[in-house]
Structure 1
Amino acid sequence: MIYPIVAYGDPVLRKRAVDIEKGSIEITQLVNDMFETMYNAHGVGLAGPQIGKSLRIFVVDGTPMEEENMQDFKKTFINPVMIEENGNEWPFEEGCLSIPDIRQEINRKPQVKIRYLDENWEEHEEVFDGVKARIIQHEYDHIEGVLFTDHLSPFKKRLLKSKLTNISKGNVNVEYRMAFPTRKK
């Protein structure tokens, strides 16, 4: 099932998501639906809040990126815990399915260490570098109620204010279904 992507301005994007208890939901179906939704929108990551579910889960697949070593980067992160972020911050242009048509250079640390459960409820603790780390940080922010625009300077945020308002009102043209906070019944 392809979910609509929740647009900027929806309160679910600002809440810290809750842990998923094993057996509380059909996790295999949710993971499959999240990948299907992400692929439909041509994304490389998607978090629970972006489909209206305040759950600590995100999926990633770096295969579409032209970066080196991304072919094997298809993963599910359930109840992740960021253990460390290391290195000197580096800039990279980011975008977000919930904030279409806006891309900005964001500074993030180049290495993360994260503990998570996969879709089979097996625990992992891994270190990721470079673009993999960045994708994880971006999606992890989503389950913490943080958006990539929160990392911008106050000046850049002011410059984007009207664009962000338009997105929340549904005044945006995308090739995937979205749910807008001001259009709810």
Structure 2
Amino acid sequence: MAERPGRGESNGAVASGLADDDPRLGLIYQEAVRGLTHQQSVVENMNTRAGSLIFATAFANSLLGGAALSDGLGLWDWIAVALLFGIGGLIVFMLWPYHQYAFRFDPEELLDQYVDGDRPATMSAMRRALALRIKPDMASNWRIIQRLRVALQIALFFLLLDILAWLFAIAAV
């Protein structure tokens, strides 16, 4: 940005400072944003898997449960029903929208901090500060994602046990 004659020296310093753009910081910021985008896709993938788990659970329980319950309730039937409720609880945990993910910044805060202040920040300074802010957000997101992953794994294990319990009930073991 060229400095126009007649401007004050402080405006020239800001104008020349705004031209500062370190491509290395751009790359680092881009990678940090890519990490957040990856996390967001993992969360969406987990939600899709939870939906598939709902379908698989409903299908297996309607198919096997109907056959098993035709001769009354036995121990294996009760175990299968308990596992069904366990799977349902885990699915609710995975899909309930209470998780506090951090995938984006507050635009008003960014404007106040980097643009509208007494001295606007350079692109390099903004990218550096935002890249550093992304790190704790990613760590917080990963803690939530790991809990969801464990819940999904437990629910899948419960589904396997549920199917086995229905099969044992059908076989009258």
Higher helix share: 2
TM range (shorter): under 0.3
Name the structure, 1 or 2, with higher relative contact order (CA <8 Å, separation 6+). Answer: 2
Q: Which has the larger radius of gyration?
A: 2
Q: Which TM-score applies when normalising by structure 2?
A: 0.23
